């Protein structure tokens, strides 16, 4: 029976991808697989129906994404679809009257009474389309908003024209009451942790606790997980059954099942119904209904039914990391950890859950937690069987006594103390890279072979996963222009060595760190700051906390302001030397890097003092120009003769840069603009863009194309994250035409 339902889940997932991507070859492959896997026609019919349903859902979702409604009027009226609180911020999702299927998300710092799902509102402000991720593995606004069909992001004021109906205010009032009781606790630190464990508000958890749980591999405890829901239901069920048996009830299991249903539902409503909690709630409900109806229900069947319901309700939910972690972990536990008791069960559960979720963590975050099994062994039972039940009991009994809530807060503080102590044992999660996800699936395949004593299938899977890991291994001899907004961040990698040129603005530190983790880079041999403007070095402060840096080079000029001095001091505390860049030839793997001396002089601007460098690979070269302007370009041309294949447009394409002499000498096949989407400076300047276009030099832009990768070994090419690759040799280099075109310029 479990095989039947699991096949239905796979059919829904595959069908959704077929409908969304119009991949007819995948549909044929799915149909062939259905007929090969089973010979039972009832199974075949059900699985093919699931493929068809998933395909219809995927086509509907694709059609929704392809529609481009006209810009919303200002103001516009609509109805609130959902209200979520994250820390001190409220996220309000509105269905506008002009296009109810394309919703708008608005952030508020204060929520008025009656502002809940069903309320009528009027919005005054600006709206913008949610953007796709700019870098591989980066935050994708569209994917994040797809489950709730969010199309726009609004900034402005929200006025309520009619409050929500009373019956729709109940859930909001429950959550508000619970949050108020937690804020009134005598133990505020523990109460903040409880806000995350009970209400699913990850941002309310103190930063120290969040970091410790992420380091130890127990980050799932910060939000409401299926473990919390299942632990609560199991605890209520067990206590009620023992009480009924003690008082001589003839049907203790029956009354225990009835008693476990209400607190499970209330807990899910309090948490805001995240996918993991809904999955656990469906499983618990199916299991308890089986007891009430005197029917036996297998846990795997309940899990599969929950997956089918959630997949049909929201096909995009399958792509969410919460959905994947929840279902994969529970499926692995049911397959490999069932039948054990006591301490052995806890140990097996911790190990199996960590092994099963490691590939998902590697794929989404580029890391795995070595202390995951130990942390889950100690922290998960404490949270599921102690902190969460005590916290719910404390919320209910708060009008009478605060003792249970105080005990729950103290237990949460104990959980945080254990997590922080364990986090001190390690330097953090292992940075393994997104490409290692197939490799981390191998242990669970071996465990499958050991448990079933069948080696043909697991051996074939291991060989396939090894091949997938080798195929996905990052390329060498590459230069990546990371999309970090209005700033520069360029990563060079060759033969296991990595270096960074500029670190972008402060808000880009998370983006850049996330990109390095997804690429599997945990050490930078050196970092070069081309000049002392904040959009080139601010991100280095946070980046240095999570990435091992050998040395930091800069242009040697005394940068005005205190930010650079504070950065140098913080780097020195971490033992990272900050020295003037050594000019001349350097080697980074197979890449030859020539650092040119910056322009000197009392009247030299900070931009013209930028360090320029040429990067040469086996089959191509790049000129990195920092923020050079006309004087700096002239100084560079006095010591550099060109040509190069790729020219980084100086100063993000400013009108005071990219002079005719530089373009004539560079003779570039293409140029790269590093600029932020919709930046206030309007860069790259239209005059500069037109100048490159007149010379026939194609342009790649980080604001439009996302991360831009240039491979300098065979086959040399340039590609954008949202733009297909082009071989460098296919891009013409016609210096004579460039000279004639430049000569015609005024």
DSSP assignment of 29-44 equals HHHHHHHHH---HHHH
Q: 450 pLDDT band (50/70/90 cuts)?
A: confident
- What is the three-class DSSP state of 121? strand
Q: How far is CA 182 from CA 132, 190, 253, 328, 468, in A?
A: 37, 9, 34, 32, 48
pLDDT for the residue numbered 274: 76
**Residue 715 DSSP class:** S
CA gap 368, 347 in Å, rounded? 19
- The helix (run of H) or strand (run of E) holding residue 680 is none
Residue 709: strand pairing partners: 480, 719
pLDDT for the residue numbered 41: 67
pLDDT for the residue numbered 225: 66
pLDDT for the residue numbered 106: 94
Between residues 197 and 517, which one has the greater pLDDT? Answer: 517
Q: How far is CA 29 from CA 42, 358, 541, 592, in A?
A: 19, 28, 49, 46
Q: 744 pLDDT band (50/70/90 cuts)?
A: very low
Q: What are phi and psi of 680, to 5 degrees?
A: -70, -15
Q: 215 pLDDT band (50/70/90 cuts)?
A: confident
| Cis peptide bond N-terminal to 75, omega within 30 | yes
pLDDT higher than 70, residue 268: yes
pLDDT higher than 70, residue 113: yes
pLDDT for the residue numbered 746: 39
How many percent of the chain have pLDDT more than 70?
Answer: 92
pLDDT for the residue numbered 673: 96
Which residue from 600, 704, 603, 721 is spatially nearest to 653, judged by alpha carbons?
704
Question: Residues 6 or more apart from 484 whose CB is under 8 A from it?
Answer: 504, 505, 508, 511, 512, 539, 702
| Listed ranges 119-123, 466-470, 542-546, 678-682; the one with the highest mean pLDDT | 119-123
| Listed ranges 455-459, 557-561, 740-744; the one with the highest mean pLDDT | 455-459
Lookup result for tokens 């804020």: 183
Q: How far is CA 538 from CA 491, 569, 607, 672, 704, in A?
A: 16, 13, 16, 22, 23
- Taking only the tens place, the pLDDT of each residue in 78-98 is 999 988 888 788 899 999 998
Query: What is the number of helices (H) and of strands (E) in the chain?
Result: 28, 25
CA gap 212, 365 in Å, rounded? 16
pTM score, whole prediction: 0.86
CA gap 275, 554 in Å, rounded? 48
CA gap 298, 330 in Å, rounded? 13
Lookup result for tokens 């130990």: 374
pLDDT higher than 90, residue 287: no
- Taking only the tens place, the pLDDT of each residue in 169-180 is 888 888 888 888
pLDDT for the residue numbered 519: 93
CA gap 444, 311 in Å, rounded? 24
CA gap 443, 332 in Å, rounded? 12
pLDDT for the residue numbered 521: 94
- Taking only the tens place, the pLDDT of each residue in 20-32 is 666 666 667 777 7
Q: 526 pLDDT band (50/70/90 cuts)?
A: very high
Q: What are phi and psi of 523, to 5 degrees?
A: -145, 135
Q: Across the chain, what does the average pLDDT equal?
A: 85
Calculate ∠ Cα 511-648-626, nearest 5°: 75
- What is the three-class DSSP state of 84? strand
- Taking only the tens place, the pLDDT of each residue in 626-638 is 999 999 999 999 9
Which residue from 250, 241, 272 is spatially nearest to 117, judged by alpha carbons?
272
pLDDT higher than 90, residue 216: no
pLDDT for the residue numbered 210: 87
pLDDT higher than 70, residue 3: no
CA gap 202, 399 in Å, rounded? 26
pLDDT higher than 70, residue 710: yes
> Would you state the CATH architecture of domain 76-164?
Beta Barrel (2.40)
- Taking only the tens place, the pLDDT of each residue in 460-485 is 888 888 888 888 888 889 999 999 99
pLDDT higher than 70, residue 512: yes
pLDDT for the residue numbered 226: 67
pLDDT higher than 70, residue 743: no
Q: 414 pLDDT band (50/70/90 cuts)?
A: very high
Which residue from 620, 619, 662, 670 is spatially nearest to 642, judged by alpha carbons?
662
pLDDT higher than 60, residue 703: yes
pLDDT higher than 50, residue 276: yes
Sign of CA dihedral 416, 420, 422, 428: positive
| Listed ranges 382-396, 594-608, 730-744; the one with the highest mean pLDDT | 594-608
**Residue 562 DSSP class:** S
- Taking only the tens place, the pLDDT of each residue in 339-350 is 777 777 778 878
**Residue 131 DSSP class:** P
Between residues 164 and 274, which one has the greater pLDDT? Answer: 164
Which residue from 712, 722, 728, 726 is spatially nearest to 493, judged by alpha carbons?
712
- What is the three-class DSSP state of 79? strand
CA gap 135, 146 in Å, rounded? 19
CA gap 410, 417 in Å, rounded? 10
Range with the lowest mean pLDDT among 60-74, 547-561, 575-589? 60-74
Mean pLDDT in residue range 548-567: 86
Range with the lowest mean pLDDT among 338-347, 389-398, 486-495? 338-347
pLDDT higher than 90, residue 44: no
CA gap 310, 324 in Å, rounded? 12
Name the fold adopted by 478-743.
Answer: Metallo-beta-lactamase; Chain A (3.60.15)
Residue 158: strand pairing partners: 123
pLDDT for the residue numbered 740: 43
pLDDT for the residue numbered 741: 44
Mean pLDDT in residue range 602-609: 88
pLDDT higher than 90, residue 231: no
Between residues 434 and 59, which one has the greater pLDDT? Answer: 434
pLDDT higher than 80, residue 47: no
- Taking only the tens place, the pLDDT of each residue in 126-155 is 998 888 899 998 888 888 888 888 989 999
pLDDT for the residue numbered 122: 94
Mean pLDDT in residue range 567-588: 93
Q: Which residues of 583-607 are buried (b: 16+ CB within 10 A; e: fewer)?
A: beebebbebbbbbbbbbeeeeebeb
Mean pLDDT in residue range 407-424: 90
- Taking only the tens place, the pLDDT of each residue in 357-382 is 889 889 988 999 888 888 878 888 88
Q: 109 pLDDT band (50/70/90 cuts)?
A: confident
């Amino acid at each position: 029976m479990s095989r039947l339902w699991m096949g239905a889940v796979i059919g829904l997932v595959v069908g959704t991808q077929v409908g969304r991507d119009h991949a007819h070859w995948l549909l044929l492959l799915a149909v062939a697989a259905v007929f090969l896997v089973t010979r039972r026609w009832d199974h075949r019919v059900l699985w093919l129906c699931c493929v068809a349903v998933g395909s219809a859902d995927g086509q509907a979702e694709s059609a929704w994404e392809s529609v481009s409604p006209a810009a919303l009027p200002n103001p516009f009226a609509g109805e609130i679809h959902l209200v979520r609180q994250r820390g001190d911020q409220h996220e309000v999702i509105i269905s506008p009257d002009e296009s109810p299927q394309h919703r708008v998300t608005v952030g508020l710092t204060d929520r008025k009474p009656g502002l809940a799902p069903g309320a009528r509102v009027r919005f005054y402000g600006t709206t913008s389309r949610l953007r796709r991720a700019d870098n591989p593995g980066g935050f994708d606004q569209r994917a994040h908003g797809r489950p709730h069909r969010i199309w726009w992001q609004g900034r402005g004021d929200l006025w309520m024209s009619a409050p929500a109906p009373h019956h729709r205010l109940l859930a909001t009032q429950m959550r508000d009451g619970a949050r108020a009781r937690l804020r009134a606790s005598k133990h505020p630190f523990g109460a903040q942790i409880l806000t995350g464990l009970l209400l699913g508000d990850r941002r309310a958890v103190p930063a120290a606790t969040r970091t410790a749980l992420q380091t130890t591999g127990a980050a799932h405890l910060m939000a409401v997980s299926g473990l919390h829901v299942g632990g609560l239901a199991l605890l209520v069920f067990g206590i009620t059954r023992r009480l009924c048996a003690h008082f001589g009830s003839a049907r203790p299991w029956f009354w225990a099942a009835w008693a476990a249903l209400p607190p499970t539902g209330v807990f899910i409503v309090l948490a805001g119904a995240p996918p993991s909690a809904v999955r656990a709630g469906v499983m618990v409900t199916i299991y308890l209904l089986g007891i009430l109806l005197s029917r036996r229900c297998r846990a795997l069947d309940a899990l599969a039914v929950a997956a089918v319901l959630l997949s049909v309700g929201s096909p995009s939910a399958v792509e969410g990391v919460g959905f994947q972690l929840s279902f994969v972990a529970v499926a692995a536990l049911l397959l490999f950890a069932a039948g054990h008791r006591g301490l052995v069960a806890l140990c097996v559960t911790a190990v199996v859950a960590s092994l099963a979720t490691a590939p998902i963590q590697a794929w989404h975050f580029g890391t795995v937690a070595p202390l995951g099994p130990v942390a889950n062994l100690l922290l998960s039972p404490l949270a599921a069987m102690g902190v969460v039940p005590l916290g719910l009991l404390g919320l209910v009994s708060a009008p009478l006594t605060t003792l249970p809530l105080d005990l729950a807060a103290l237990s949460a503080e104990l959980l945080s103390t254990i997590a922080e102590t364990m986090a001190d044992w390690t330097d953090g999660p292992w940075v393994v890279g997104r490409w290692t996800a197939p490799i981390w699936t191998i242990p669970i395949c071996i465990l499958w072979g050991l448990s079933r004593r069948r080696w043909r299938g697991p051996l074939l899977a291991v060989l396939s996963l090894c091949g997938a890991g080798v195929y996905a291994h990052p390329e060498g001899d590459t230069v990546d222009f990371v999309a970090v907004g209005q700033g520069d961040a360029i990563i060079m990698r060759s033969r296991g060595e990595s270096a960074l040129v500029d670190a972008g603005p402060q808000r880009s530190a998370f983006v850049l760190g996330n990109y390095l983790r997804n690429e599997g880079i945990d050490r930078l041999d050196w970092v070069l700051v081309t000049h002392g403007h904040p959009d080139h070095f601010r991100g280095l402060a946070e980046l240095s906390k999570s990435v091992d840096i050998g040395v930091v080079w800069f242009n040697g000029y005394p940068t005005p302001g205190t930010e650079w001095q504070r950065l140098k001091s913080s780097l020195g505390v971490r033992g990272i030397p900050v020295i003037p860049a050594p000019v001349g030839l350097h080697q980074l793997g197979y890449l030859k890097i020539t650092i040119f001396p910056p322009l000197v002089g009392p009247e030299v601007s900070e931009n013209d003092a930028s360090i320029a460098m040429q990067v040469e690979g086996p089959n191509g070269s790049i000129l990195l120009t920092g923020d050079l302007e006309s004087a700096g370009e002239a100084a560079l041309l006095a010591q550099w003769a060109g040509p190069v294949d790729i020219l980084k447009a100086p100063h993000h394409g400013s009108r005071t840069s990219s002079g005719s002499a530089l373009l004539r000498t560079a003779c570039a096949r293409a140029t790269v603009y590093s600029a932020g989407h919709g930046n206030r400076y309007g860069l790259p300047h239209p005059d500069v863009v037109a100048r490159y276009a007149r010379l026939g030099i194609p342009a790649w832009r980080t604001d439009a194309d996302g991360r831009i990768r240039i491979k300098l070994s065979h086959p040399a090419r340039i590609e954008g994250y949202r733009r297909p690759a082009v071989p460098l040799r296919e891009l013409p280099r016609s210096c004579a035409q460039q000279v004639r075109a430049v000569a015609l310029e005024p």
